[in-house]
Amino acid sequence: MNRLSGLIDIFLQPGEFFVADADYQMRTMLGSCVSITLWHPFKRIGAMSHFLLPTRGNRQAHDLLDGRYGDEALDLMVAELKRAGVVATQCQAKIFGGGNMFPEHFHSRALSVGQRNGEAALQLLDRHGIPVVSESLFGIGHRQIIFDVSNGDVWCHQVPPSSRDGESEGDLL
Residues counted in the chain: 173
CB 46 within 8 A of CB 8: no
What's the pLDDT score for residue 57? 81
**From CA 92, how far away is CA 70, in angstroms rounded?**
17
**From CA 99, how far away is CA 69, in angstroms rounded?**
17
Domains and CATH numbers, the chain: 2-172 (3.30.1330.200)
Three-state DSSP at 46 gives strand
**From CA 77, how far away is CA 61, in angstroms rounded?**
19
In sequence order, what E strands does the chain have? 2-4, 7-11, 17-20, 24-30, 34-40, 45-49, 92-97, 132-137, 142-148, 154-159, 170-172
**From CA 56, how far away is CA 148, in angstroms rounded?**
30
Along the 173 residues of the chain, how does pLDDT read in single tens digits? 555 568 899 999 999 999 999 999 999 999 999 999 999 999 999 999 999 999 998 877 778 999 999 999 999 999 999 999 999 999 999 999 999 876 666 555 556 889 999 999 999 999 999 999 999 999 888 999 999 999 999 999 988 776 444 445 566 66
What's the pLDDT score for residue 166? 47
